[in-house]
Chain A
């Protein structure tokens, strides 16, 4: 395993910014260091060799940015979270004539599809819109296609059952050429679009925002800025959901929320 040090990581961040304009300076260093080390190990090169290879418009810098930003997700990740949302949050959301949800940092769409299934099973998908955003066009393209490997689907099916799914996950996809394709009906009310949480602003008002395991990639300072954006994008009494090990602490907005579930990190905006 190639191990790089923090000062070297800063050199890499600067170089990527010079070459591509993509700025990692607001990203949490420990995770970035891990990914950069893995990238180097996987490509059997050291940092010096990588720096020689990255050039403007080149393939390497593009690959590297993808590798350093990509999020791994699952459908119904943390099934107990979905049970809680189904039982305690949906009763509230159902009272709205139109439901607007935002899945921020949606990667390849797993969370958005899970939410669509929840809405479908609550009988409200038709009057809901899910905005699923990410900063990477590549993952969004993949999300729009809604294609998953069958081995991933096995994990998702287990999660779905644990999340008290009402049907079978196979009701929501069909299999073609050894891949699972998410049903078009489910994708109908999802809008996948480009949005950079760290630079772009408010684009709508939502009653529900899921931003799970995204904030862990940002530095403390950038995190506060992104939290502010999420706060500003939520309607009063709207819900904010974070990952299991994340917290509203150190966010600067903790006083504006009521805790709905502390272990699952579900919060409601109260002021």
Chain B
């Protein structure tokens, strides 16, 4: 019998902080067709933010959305959101793992934590994207993914509401492709489909 583990799985990773919420919403709206990958969103949020993102975003797309539990299998054609106050890690056994160790750049979830775990997971990464934010989180993770040869995309800092996060990523690695404002969502659609 064919099990879920035999199915091809690839990941799309998207990270952002302040100024990224509306971008995340817009990306979800682009997802009108079934996905050939699992999409993982890491958005910095306060630990007390009790609203669940799948609940908040449920009108944006019809694709299955979830804040995963520890050890949940990662499935294709699904959208996952990191839960506040935990690091979300991607395991080589295609399951999600949580970690409550120290924050990276004052953030839990940390984008670096998820991206770096994905980089060594052995699961192919179709694309990783980093958007607006006011800390240096994500830069190391993006660099690790780029070094593995995965396609990485960074929002042009000149157009980011908080330029620090994309700028730091570009400073740490010149391998990222820069996404410009004028055709941002068209480009993202091309990357995803």
Contacts and interface: CB of A to CB of B under 8 A. Distances in A.
A3 B100 contact: no
Nearest to A214: B100
A245 B69 CA distance: 5
Contact of A33 (B98, B100, B120): B120
A71 interface: yes
A70 B70 CA distance: 19
Interface stretch (B16-24, B27-35, B110-118, B152-160): B110-118
Interface residues of A, number: 30
Name the prevailing secondary structure of the B interface residues. Answer: loop
B101 interface: yes
Interface string A196-219: 000000000000000001011000
A138 interface: no
Most chain B CB within 10 A, of A1, A30, A80, A220, is at A30
Interface residues of B, number: 30
Interface stretch (A54-62, A93-101, A246-254): A246-254
B69 A30 contact: no
B144 interface: yes
Contacts of A245: 67-70, 83, 86, 98
Contact of A1 (B67, B92, B144): B144
Given A29-B92, A72-B100, A72-B102, A34 B87 contact: yes
Interface in A31-80: 31, 33-35, 37-38, 70-72, 80
Contacts of A215: 70
A72 to B, nearest CB: 6
A240 B22 CA distance: 39
Nearest to B89: A30
A249 B69 contact: yes
B90 interface: yes
Contacts of B121: 30
11 contacts: A1-B140, A3-B116, A3-B144, A5-B120, A6-B92, A28-B97, A29-B92, A33-B120, A34-B101, A34-B117, A246-B70
Interface of B: 48, 50, 67-71, 83, 86-87, 89-92, 97-102, 112-113, 116-117, 119-122, 140, 144
Closest 7 interchain pairs by CB? A30-B89, A1-B140, A30-B97, A31-B99, A247-B69, A30-B91, A216-B98
